[in-house]
Structure 1
Amino acid sequence: MLRNGKDIANGAVIETQVCIVGSGPAGITAAWELQKAGVKVTLIEGGPDSPKGALDPTWPDKSVLYAGKADGQFAESEPDFLIRPYNRAGGPWERERMFGGTSAHWGGQSRPLDPIDFEARPGFPGWPIDRAELDPYYAKAAQLCLLHGDDFSPQAWAEILGAEVPELTGFDTTIYQYLGKNYLNFALRTFDGVTIADTDVDVIVNATLLEIEQRQGRVCGLRVASMDGAAGASKKATEFTIKADMVVLACGAVENARQLLLSDVGNDHDQVGRYFMCHPLSNGPVLSASGAYLTDAQTRLMAGQTLSGNRAVPWQDANGVRVSGRFSPTADEQKRLGIGSCWFWANYGQYYFEMAPNPDSRVALADTVDPVFGQRQTHITWLLSDRDEATYTQTTALFKAAVEELGGDVYYQPWPAVKEGLTVNGHHIGTTRMSADPKEGVVDADLKVHGLDNLYVAGSSVFPSTGISNPTFTIITLSIRLAEHLRGRVGAP
């Protein structure tokens, strides 16, 4: 069921078992899994319904309600990060305010995090869970996303493609799958033949969370408001309350932190908003490899190609799933050098890496307020560290040495030239990180906010470290796991 918040009477009270705030992959996945078990779910989204998946309808209200201040590294490359696309010529936008969230521009690149990503290592805190605990949920996520199975090993894919696995000293060959067909936008895609709006989930668009009301260690209500008026000139229309047994924030790493800060919830140890991370991406090519350091069969694996006769052609399955390969430093090299991960992609010249957690890279509240609801806006500061520089210099040197062993060569630009052009690349990670100790994070291993009995957070904001894999597949995985936990809490099978 899909309805508009402005059609809900002023002062109304909606009662539900689970209320999910945010309709991106995290929120919709959790909603789908819960309703399958018979749980009563209300899913609210601040932005409008966009039945054709268009991004344009989100622009005017997003530029008003998501505005604020972005500084630090943003001052160099993306001062308009909070409201604008980082590619001014078009292309990916950083954040969305619409039904479906950022899945509306997701590229579908999927791969689990590596076991080392969950381990404590120099500069990286580790997770309170390990990779083995997520493996069964990764398998369920692969099935939900209609991937070509849950085996991402290069050996398995070399057999499927009739290709060979490259061997570079100090590097693993890693495989990514890409979602096919029309499964990217979670608001529009079908689950068992129906969209989320066609299920029993009560989907309310144009429903902005204003306040998380809590008392005696529990959330007792959510104040929610709708807007009315022409796009870009909206005003507050109605205000209503949602009372839920369990509440899940699934608004993205920036807004999850802002909502907790606005309500002064979960921040007893000044951890909310800290450790904002991403996968920094260089602005254009900054390195190049020369020489035939890969065989034709190895090149085909990296490109996701198979042979048709004597011709290399892109492989895809019946659902349109495709694959490609990357080179990433091994766990042993990451530990030995005290660096994060990265990937290199044959002759691809951009650089993409794992940012180290930094407590001063953070989301806070700005002194300014939005003109619709009068709430404090976002002040986000993105800061890199010396460890990020070490990741770049060490991994590029390692890659150069490995390629030279095979008869090739690698050129790469110095760090200062690369740093000034780095962009966030659409992956917003951290700000409500998972921790066993409340003094070191915001949520526990079950994604429950420390100190509150019924408030949970979903999405990549809970990641203690970024790893190198694109985050959405792990976001979906964690939401499946969270739904299983919440079913137990509300007494559903």
Structure 2
Amino acid sequence: MNQDLGKKFDLCVVGSGPAGIITVLEYARVNPQKTVLLIEYGFPGQKVKNSLDDSIVVENKLNHHDPYECTNKGLGGTSLTWGGRCVMYDEIDFLKDRPVINGECTWDVSLFEEVKKHVPATAGYFECGEPVFNLNKIPQFAGSRIAENFKEGDVTDSLLERWSMPTRFGSRYRKELEECKNITLLEGYEARDFAEPDANGKVSSLTIRNVKTGEISNVEAEKFVLAAGAQESTRILLRNTKLFKNLGFTPPALGKYYQGHVFGKIASVKFYGDPKKTDYGYLRNPDGTYIRRRFHFTQDFMLKKDLLNTIMWIDNPLYHDYKHKNGAMSFMYLAMITPVLKNMLAPPAIAHSITKGETKTVGKHIWNFVKDLPMSVITPASIFYQRYLVKRKLPGVFLYNPMNEYSLNFHAEQVPAEQNRMELDKDGETLIIHYDLVDADIRSVVAAHDELDKYLREINCGEVVYWYPKDELSKAVKNVSKDGIHQIGTTRIADSPEEGVVNKDLKLYGTDNVYVCSSSVFPTSGHANPTFFLGAFAVRLANYL
């Protein structure tokens, strides 16, 4: 690792999450003679409390997590607590003429096809196995179904999620970064102010601030990439509107159209057939990676019904509801509400999704645990070994239900709504996040459940069992959905600065050499967790540069 900061670098990347690390490593691989600087705000030994997260205000805490629950500082970024789920975007996410998203799709299918070419390399960085995302294309599983009597039609069960180790990008790639002679890793520095672009749009330098001392330094580079996550990449641009001097205006989409995903549980699915034939858990790919199937609607069906892109997967009953009467589940729930221990087992946002903050029926959970001994201990012990003591870890916990009824997890696209936004407060530093669910988000989730129920009944496979009266479903969706983990849309790709913030090459409008590599460039959220597909954009950007 080169330590000379006094020279001009060929590339400067701000942010060392998966996008930043992939951009740097791929660029250095393709261009071994070029010099690269990777700047990271966090540093080894840094305390959790930090000035960036302290200066973020979330206006709607019902539906958006606190910043400390969404992101991590330090090498590897949020991959430090990332579960490892790798999911692909779909063609429908790039279609411009879907009425449900109000004309706010500002990328196109040709870009999707181009980015897909970089998926194999991306799968290598994420260590998630062969980049196949449909069970029907894996000979070992082709033709298998999720439950007895299920057949694919308007609803499919072959769409896949793949799982990494999970790969913690900081620990996984630190040695490679430090040993590469043309890469300089600078930890504990905050990106502050860009120089104004010259008449040709070229930006010469960036000032950075030492997080510990406050000392200001200047970095010069031929090209700059903002890969600091959606919140911080957006904040830096909002603070540096001089970058748009040559445009004569700040792109109106900057900070706007903020999206995440609408997700949670409002129902169960009851299968009619043999419970032993229900594929409720993980499968192992021939290469050893974990994969899992999902319910999905076909593109034609979603267009016909004007649905937002939505997937669903079967899950355990609610952990916090003692009525599941499962000793192992109660044991794991009790562990998740135990101070100190809960922080060791899962990130705060994931722990909350399991416990829902409920601690009212501890005694009844203890009774579940006692009556199911010794399996109340044996089952969690086996799971603990697979989750924490092997290299390729079991991604999650799914338990067999002899009643053949499982809760139904939904994960849905969100409408790109202009009022959902990030903006700077009057002090020019504090980032205010305005985030809410719009009616179309909620309406589509309820409709998707109804369509799945109708389909399962038609093929005599099962039915959806709602947990709430029909007239309370919309309220239930609003109350259970909480995001902020997936941050999308605030610097979106578009064909012009009137519509977006970066072009298809991720170049910032108004500049010739500043790029953004963050899920904030995605104009639509699809159903997919954005991390993996962002990795494909990072590979593409590195090769483009």
TM range (shorter): 0.7 to 0.9
Once the two structures are superposed, what CA deviation does each residue of 1:298-320 show, in whole Å capped at 9, x if it has no partner?
Answer: x33x6333xxxxxxxxx2555x5
Residue 310 (structure 1) aligns with: none
Supply the AA of the counterpart residue of 1:34: Y
Distance 1:241 1:156, change over 3 A: same
CA contact (8 A) 1:48 1:58 kept: no
Matched residues in 2 for 1:358 and 1:32: separation?
35
Deviation of the 1:438 alpha carbon: 1.7
Residue 218 (structure 1) aligns with: 202
CA contact (8 A) 1:279 1:355 kept: yes
Matched residues in 1 for 2:512 and 2:79: separation?
30
Deviation of the 1:160 alpha carbon: 4.5
Supply the AA of the counterpart residue of 1:454: N
> Aligned-residue CA RMSD in angstroms?
2.4
Supply the AA of the counterpart residue of 1:205: E
Tell me the percent identity.
25
Matched residues in 2 for 1:469 and 1:148: separation?
18
Counterpart pick for 1:303 among 276, 281, 286? 281
Matched residues in 2 for 1:210 and 1:130: separation?
31
Residue 421 (structure 1) aligns with: 480
CA contact (8 A) 2:106 2:499 kept: no
CA contact (8 A) 1:280 1:354 kept: yes
Supply the AA of the counterpart residue of 1:387: A
Residue 167 (structure 2) aligns with: 184
Deviation of the 1:468 alpha carbon: 1.1
Supply the AA of the counterpart residue of 2:435: W
CA contact (8 A) 2:93 2:309 kept: no
Distance 1:338 1:163, change over 3 A: closer
Deviation of the 1:253 alpha carbon: 1.0
Counterpart pick for 1:133 among 114, 125, 133? 114
Residue 250 (structure 1) aligns with: 227
Asked if 1:288 is matched to 2:268, the reply is yes
Asked if 1:262 is matched to 2:239, the reply is yes
Distance 1:293 1:363, change over 3 A: farther
Question: What's the secondary structure of 1:60's corresponding residue?
Answer: coil
Supply the AA of the counterpart residue of 2:168: N
Once the two structures are superposed, what CA deviation does each residue of 1:210-247 show, in whole Å capped at 9, x if it has no partner?
Answer: 1112222221210101022xxxxxxx432111111000
Matched residues in 2 for 1:138 and 1:126: separation?
22
Asked if 1:70 is matched to 2:58, the reply is yes
Counterpart pick for 2:27 among 27, 31, 34? 34
Question: What's the secondary structure of 1:358's corresponding residue?
Answer: coil
Supply the AA of the counterpart residue of 2:295: F
Matched residues in 2 for 1:43 and 1:168: separation?
47
Deviation of the 1:75 alpha carbon: 3.4
Matched residues in 2 for 1:337 and 1:162: separation?
27
Written as runs of structure 1 = structure 2, the 5 A alignment for 1:15-164 is: 15-36=8-29, 37-38=31-32, 39-49=34-44, 57-61=46-50, 65-71=53-59, 74-78=60-64, 81-82=66-67, 84-85=68-69, 94-120=70-96, 121-122=98-99, 123=101, 124-128=104-108, 129-157=110-138, 159-160=140-141, 163-164=144-145
Supply the AA of the counterpart residue of 2:162: Q
Deviation of the 1:175 alpha carbon: 0.7
TM-score w.r.t. structure 1 length?
Answer: 0.81
Asked if 1:202 is matched to 2:155, the reply is no
CA contact (8 A) 2:195 2:203 kept: yes
Supply the AA of the counterpart residue of 1:441: G
Matched residues in 1 for 2:129 and 2:226: separation?
30
Distance 1:115 1:263, change over 3 A: same
Question: What's the secondary structure of 2:293's corresponding residue?
Answer: strand
Counterpart pick for 2:151 among 146, 160, 167? 167
CA contact (8 A) 1:119 1:130 kept: no
Question: What's the secondary structure of 2:525's corresponding residue?
Answer: coil
Matched residues in 2 for 1:361 and 1:293: separation?
44
Matched residues in 2 for 1:274 and 1:219: separation?
24
Give the gaps of 5 or more residues in structure 1.
51-56, 86-93, 229-235, 306-314, 369-374, 487-493
Aligned residues: 429
Matched residues in 1 for 2:171 and 2:176: separation?
6
Deviation of the 1:293 alpha carbon: 5.5
Question: What's the secondary structure of 2:50's corresponding residue?
Answer: helix
Deviates more, 1:165-174 or 1:474-483: 165-174
Deviation of the 1:344 alpha carbon: 1.3
Once the two structures are superposed, what CA deviation does each residue of 1:278-337 show, in whole Å capped at 9, x if it has no partner?
Answer: 11222xx3211113368755x33x6333xxxxxxxxx2555x520001112211122112
CA contact (8 A) 2:262 2:441 kept: no
Supply the AA of the counterpart residue of 1:186: F
Give the gaps of 5 or more residues in structure 2.
315-405
Question: What's the secondary structure of 2:263's corresponding residue?
Answer: coil
Distance 1:241 1:13, change over 3 A: farther
CA contact (8 A) 2:197 2:511 kept: no
Q: Greater share of helix residues, 1 or 2?
A: 2
Counterpart pick for 1:336 among 304, 308, 311? 304
Deviation of the 1:167 alpha carbon: 2.4
Deviation of the 1:110 alpha carbon: 1.0
Matched residues in 1 for 2:47 and 2:523: separation?
30
Q: Greater share of strand residues, 1 or 2?
A: 1
Once the two structures are superposed, what CA deviation does each residue of 1:195-221 show, in whole Å capped at 9, x if it has no partner?
Answer: 323323101000101111222222121
Deviates more, 1:272-281 or 1:409-418: 409-418
Supply the AA of the counterpart residue of 1:396: H
Supply the AA of the counterpart residue of 2:494: S
Supply the AA of the counterpart residue of 1:184: T
Matched residues in 1 for 2:492 and 2:274: separation?
40
Residue 381 (structure 1) aligns with: 434
Distance 1:365 1:425, change over 3 A: closer
Matched residues in 1 for 2:19 and 2:417: separation?
24
Supply the AA of the counterpart residue of 1:238: E
Distance 1:464 1:286, change over 3 A: same
Deviation of the 1:269 alpha carbon: 2.8
Matched residues in 2 for 1:348 and 1:198: separation?
47
